[in-house]
Structure 1
Amino acid sequence: MKINIYHILFILLCCLPKSWAIAQESIGGMVLDAESKQRIGKVFIVNKTTGENTYNNSKGEFNLTLKPGDIIIANKENYHGDTISYAGAKALIINLKRKTIAIAPVTVMGRVSPEEILARRREEYNKAYRLADPGDFVSVGQNGAGLSIDAVYNYFSREGKNARRLTKYFQKEYEDNYIDIVFTRELVRGVTGLEGEPLDNFMIRYRPEYNFVLTADRYQLVKYIKTKYEYFKHIPYIKPLPDLKEIDLNLEN
């Protein structure tokens, strides 16, 4: 009789303790600015205990599957991250403190590099990285080659899917940080002479792709900025459109 992967997964799921499903429930929450108490949107929220993660909406609202004792982490650009332990409340309120910038933007001494940030993520979320890449499905032992049940289960489990989403987010965070290091306001200002809102618009509209920045030398980067500036001079006051919502076509999710 031929047994496929899904038969194995069905058997494993049937053997899981019922307490897993009973203990966890979907909890609604909201993220607020700690000072103004206004709602904050586009906050990345992760249940570090299970790996489940999500972004809240423009109203600051979100939902997560939680059980008492789960560790929740919230992160947003220009805000200090917050870590809390879920105690069983019916609603979860997260307050984030805005970062204060006390140094000039050109001062980069002591700045953490994108590589260091990614290394910290790998260390802090090592379980997620292990689940995201569980290894070969086929294991070799004394009795020959066989199917690795642990690898198969970890890959197709809910935790495995959440882990892959989380590690993809960290990779995107690394790429964005790398672009910020190379494509700076100081460089664009020096090449174009732009200041204020026009400079902000240019930085957003013509932000380069990671693959280009990764391989471009300074000459190529300056040439790129000059070329885009020629387009920009004709329509300098058109503000960039908001990002379109990404459509996930990955059939495994």
Structure 2
Amino acid sequence: MKNISYLVSLFFLLLFGIGFSFSVNAQEIKGIVHELESSQRLREVTVKNLRTNETTETDTEGNFTISGKINDLLTFNQPGYEVDTAFIYQEGVQRIYLVRDSKSIVIDEIVISRLTDSRLAAEIEKAKNEGQVTEASQTRGGLRLSLSRLFGRQSKMARKNLDLLLEEQNNRKVDRLFSEQAIRAVIPLTVTEMALFREQFRPSLEFIETASPEDLRVYILDSYSKFKSKK
């Protein structure tokens, strides 16, 4: 009788354990797709997880849900808009902004913050090309300084945009390691405090590229003591 009771208990424990495992492993990525210029939500955008090849579409309010996890790559495709790719490196609702085909972007800090990594990289290359101050010589070969490019309004604007774009790209590289998950594993912060802490104490890209996990942990603890002393 005891053996039967033991087997029954073991069966339910295994059953519960399997169900629990499924609930833990079941992960989803949720987000909203907008048009960049108008911020209008876009319906019927095809969303694909490149790791799993699973696809879905946004609903009438631009919302989507797809199986996935941190470090997955999602593509977004709709006729009339440029195909975009988003690298998922943080939790929470993902906001994706698509650009119409052949549509130039008026760069400012708000627009830059909305760009996906792939779109940001494309805009950096575009700004580099437009901001060049040299051009190929048609008569002597090689390169020559172009005064029109050096002092031209479009070139000057491109170089200014490039600085903003590169700063955003560097910040994103830092934030992938100086993430909310990494910070919460070391110190307790509220949602409001987290945003302030990450903005005020974002480390340099040079530090992040060479820091060990222990270096980052020490940096977070030291920054936290400074953060608390200011309050």
TM-score range, shorter chain: 0.3 to 0.5
Q: TM-score, normalised by structure 2?
A: 0.47
Q: TM-score, normalised by structure 1?
A: 0.44
Q: Which has more helix, going by share of residues?
A: 2
